Amino acid sequence: MKLVLVFSLLFMSYALVLGTTPTKHYIVYMGEHSHPSADAVVLDNHAMLASITGSMHKAQQATVHHYSKSFRGFSAMLIPEQARLLAEREGVISVFESKTSRIHTTHSWDFLGLSAESQLPLTDYFQSDVIVGSIDTGVWPESASFNDEGMGPVPKRFKGECVTGANFTWVNCNRKIIGARYYYKGFEAENGPLELFGGVFFRSPRDADGHGTHTASTVAGSIVPSTSLLGIATGTARGGATRARLAIYKACWFGLCSDADLFSAFDDAISDGVDIISISAGPSPPQPSFFSEPISIGSFHAFEKGILTSASAGNAGFSGTACNVAPWILTVAASSVDRQFHSNLTLGNSKVLKGQSVNPLKMDGFFGIIPASVAAAPGASSLNASFCKNNTLDLSLVKGKIVICIIEEIFDARGAKAEVVRELGGVGMILVDPIATDVGFQFVIPTTIIGLEEAKQLFAYLSQNNPVANIARTVTVLHTKPAPEMAVFSSMGPNVITPELIKPDITAPGLNILAAWSPVALDSAGKRSVDYNIISGTSMSCPHVSAAAAILKSYRPHWSPAAIKSALMTTATVLDNTGSTLLRHPNGSPTTPFDYGSGHLRPLAALKPGLIYDHDTDDIINFLCSSGATPAQFRNLTGNPTTCRKTRVPTYNLNYPSIGVSNMTGRVSVLRTVTYYGEGRSVFVASVDYPAGVKITVVPSVLEFKWIGQKKSYRVDFVPNRDSNGSFVFGALTWSDGRYFVRSPIALHIVSV
């Protein structure tokens, strides 16, 4: 064996000299450790790596990160053969390549029923010392949303630090932002120096992207009256948990997050003593596994320590694209609030067409209109010109005009089209976008977004001589109906890893959310410097749920992550403000639990859920055993050897707040246990919303509780009478005593009867 190792080292040295084998960034994971200090971990890490690289000096040069707090490991630049040899070393659980994840309010809290007035009876809860760890792009600490006025001393149990760096000193932390760290080595190892990206950045916890400032202030921003985006969405900005503390972990740069950096952030956050982790980032779909992806592994270690991780489901917008779908993560979809931003288009014949965008710019007077398709530059096709691509439009035709552009695909860079028009002297843009009319995009010139019906009327008007129009500055319209609706971009289930586990878990406001911003982050603000900005994404919905979890944690400090998740899920609603089931924008198409999970967040209802579904790490292990996890995969996740029971517990019997069965063949019985958290004695009765083609019996159908904390178990028998034709059918089970309504969605994939 030693001789083989010698020859392997000689071969690697020769390959490195010739430069024939490029290095990659690998994470070497070793699970729990018993070393007396972080320094001891680092020393052992270097020694292990030196045995592969040939010297301590080379080991130190190759190392990027050390994980020495909540779990042990390191990341390093290695050639594949070195990674393979490390994977064979005793004590190494797994070696996997570090990849890249992507970063995925005045009125929203009012819409959720958490108005300033409703907080008054909750004063004690909001005075708590709950700490939310925000893993994102950093923070702009000078924002009024991070004012610590009236807050008490930093909780003594917090072990974090205020790490200084470029334009960030210890005075940028306070009693609101109690800790701040940043991680860039993994990003640079995989992408090159930050300077190569050409944008503004700070090698410190300071946020140049805006995204992290936005999410952190949505979770726990202080109350700031009279805020707006240049007069749009005026109101009082605040986070959901206004008295919670923030610990900032900057692990993302230019919208990208290195897995190795995210792993470091989880390692620190768990060790620092946060109560909730909020992360608005995730892997590109489809998510391949729970066992080799840092958010899943890091959040599992957090779950073991009693820390709930709330994570965004992603913005891919299609079936089967939801990410962060592990059962120990609270996975959040995005939906709207009852507010729209109208930027109407007035035609020269006085007809007004409804348009939407975030447009703070005033257009004085009327200007001629020209479709981009008839303004093609020499050599450019009419089709490419219609998309307003760079170098496709004729300056002489566009200058001084309002240009009509259309989208080419759902992920078009819409703002870039307006930049093309502006560069050629265009004064405005009308974007025909039937997909994302409700998303508040911002542009460098006056722009409105219209749907197909408005486009038909517009093009009919163009047949007149000298057509002209005016684009109005945005007007904020409140109390719109129906709301909420599922956002067009929100990623959907089914869960591609364990389809019997309904994902996402819940939905919350993620469309056109106003929150604090970095004034140097211009790209997502129409090239304008602003202190508060309106953006959309599951990145915005995730911190709403994180805040609700923080409130619940302060109210029930001893509740497990699973109990908190259960309370939020079973009290969610599937109805909009017209009393109808949630629809999906923009076409009002029907939705299922694969869109919204258990429903739309209701923070106040979650404080008194009536019943909760709890589970712990052992239950998760049983679930994974039944899912077919291998010993190697378990070691990847837990860091410890795991032995599955000979008798497996079916995956659908994980005590989860939702009920799912995939590949169902004939009759199936599902077991659940609920714990009572109500007032006095109570009797709960079951009611069922039946999935198509399935008979359901609940045994027992009545549960009587005599004291808080009492547990009762029940069984749900599913008897199908026809298969579900390759798809899922949906229903729900609700337990109620007249005061509490505890609802669980049901999803069944029936293969045969």
For the question of residue 136 being annotated catalytic, the response is yes
d(CA 516, CA 143): 7
Of 671, 436, 664, the closest CA to residue 536 belongs to: 436
d(CA 96, CA 265): 18
> 3-class SS at 245?
strand
| Cβ atoms of 532 and 513 closer than 8 Å | no
In this structure, is the dihedral angle defined by the CA atoms of residues 353, 354, 357 and 362, taken in order, positive or negative? Answer: positive
d(CA 226, CA 187): 38
Cα 679 from chain centroid (whole Å): 35
For residue 450, give the H/E element and its range. strand 447-450
Of 136, 267, 272, 531, the catalytic one is: 136
d(CA 21, CA 14): 10
In the numeric block, the tokens 């120096």 are attached to 193
The pair of structure tokens assigned to 565 is: 């998740």
State the distance between the two ends of the chain, measured CA to CA, in whole angstroms: 56
Cα 608 from chain centroid (whole Å): 26
Supply angle C-alpha 382, 386, 387, rounded to 5.
125
> 3-class SS at 536?
coil
Helices (H), 521-591: 538-555, 561-570
For the question of residue 211 being annotated catalytic, the response is yes
Of 65, 211, 214, 585, the catalytic one is: 211
Of 386, 539, 541, 662, the catalytic one is: 539
The residues with which 470 forms a beta bridge, in sequence order, are 346
Of 239, 333, 237, 337, the closest CA to residue 280 belongs to: 333
- The CA–CA distances, whole Å, from 265 to 182, 444, 677 equal 8, 35, 34
For the question of residue 580 being annotated catalytic, the response is no
Q: Please enumerate, as own/partner, the contacts of 703-710 that have beta carbons within 8 Å and a separation of 24 or more.
A: 703/674, 703/735, 705/676, 705/678, 705/681, 706/681, 707/676, 708/676, 708/677, 708/678, 709/675, 709/676, 709/677, 710/675, 710/676
| Cβ atoms of 407 and 414 closer than 8 Å | yes
- Residues annotated as catalytic (active site), given as ranges: 136, 211, 539
